[in-house]
Structure 1
Amino acid sequence: MGTPNILLTRIDNRLVHGQVGVTWVNYLGANLLIVANDEVAHDEVRQSLMDMVVSDTVGMRYFTLQKTIDIISKASPRQKIFLVLKTPEDVLVLKQGGVPISYVNVGNMHFEEGKNQITSTVSVDDEDIAAFHKLNELGVTCEIQGVPGEHAKNIMELI
């Protein structure tokens, strides 16, 4: 079991869109984008829509959370991985499953009923807050940052 070359782990409830598939991929120099999401792993229509956003020089993989846990350690060192998840709870599942995540970029968590807005792009509920606290206890730094160059804010100071 090797240590995968994870360049960045991002929470974005939109998963792959222009900001992720172009701006962040280019900034990071990633050559593999992994979407770890149980629903999207089985939804070819959503996968093909996300594939259209990303350059064909970047590999795209859509795995369930469990498959990500099971195979990420088998990644080649040449694979520069950008890992995208939908929720902090999903990140916690991966972390507790042994995926070596030490830093999380929090991009977008849209406002919806039952959530409190803490920045213009991030809204959280009690489950999200509990997951962020647990990630913090596990040594994972979580910072809100929409795009490279924007000032990052530690989420623990906001929740």
Structure 2
Amino acid sequence: MANIVLARIDERLIHGQIRLQWGKHSGANTILVANDEIAQMEALQAPFKASAGSDFSVLFRTIDQAITNLPKAGPDRKILVLCKNPTDFARIVVGGVELPEINIGNMHFHEGRTAVNKYINVDKEDMRAFEVLSENGSVCTLQHMPESSKECIFEATKNLVI
């Protein structure tokens, strides 16, 4: 089984907060960006690699490649898995990769999304994905920074009309 030290949803993917806060806090030495679009377009990868600096190995995989390759990773790889949305993580978990906890970072406002807090906006598709994750044993918690308190997505959204 892969040594996944953090699974995080962040639409921005790799940026300073990931490198300086979450990467260091988690002890990761590898960042795996699981995203179909970016994995297939090398031109989109360069800015993310630059943002990670030399502190991390940075890998870009499609969701299917992540499902196939994560279980093969050696224990020396301490992996921070980044996805842009909960649907991609739901695909990974349904594909057989165990993720006991998924950290929900930044999900920007888009048409049709409802604000949960300053950083998290969700729609019905997102909430269905969180249900799938929960059904497959993943706890999904909102946590902006490592020192911030955690809150279950279902607790945070229980009074919202989505």
Same topology, TM > 0.5: yes
1:111, 1:123 within 8 Å by CA — same for their partners in 2?
A: yes
- The Cα of 1:55 is off from its aligned counterpart by 2.8
1:43 match: 41
In 2, Cα distance between equivalents of 1:55 and 1:91: 25
- The Cα of 1:45 is off from its aligned counterpart by 2.3
In 2, Cα distance between equivalents of 1:70 and 1:57: 25
- The Cα of 1:146 is off from its aligned counterpart by 1.1
In 1, Cα distance between equivalents of 2:156 and 2:22: 24
1:127 match: 125
1:142 match: 140
Structure 1 alignment gaps of length 5 or more: none
1:143, 1:154 within 8 Å by CA — same for their partners in 2?
A: yes
RMSD (Å) for aligned C-alpha atoms: 0.9
In 2, Cα distance between equivalents of 1:52 and 1:97: 30
1:22 to 13, 20, 23: 20
1:36, 1:83 within 8 Å by CA — same for their partners in 2?
A: yes
1:64 match: 62
TM-score, length basis structure 1: 0.95
1:87 match: 85
- The Cα of 1:113 is off from its aligned counterpart by 0.6
2:29, 2:56 within 8 Å by CA — same for their partners in 1?
A: yes
Structure 1 runs (4+) greater than 6 angstroms displaced: none
1:104 to 89, 99, 102: 102
1:6, 1:83 within 8 Å by CA — same for their partners in 2?
A: yes
1:22, 1:53 within 8 Å by CA — same for their partners in 2?
A: no
Answering whether residue 52 of structure 2 is matched by residue 54 of structure 1, we say yes
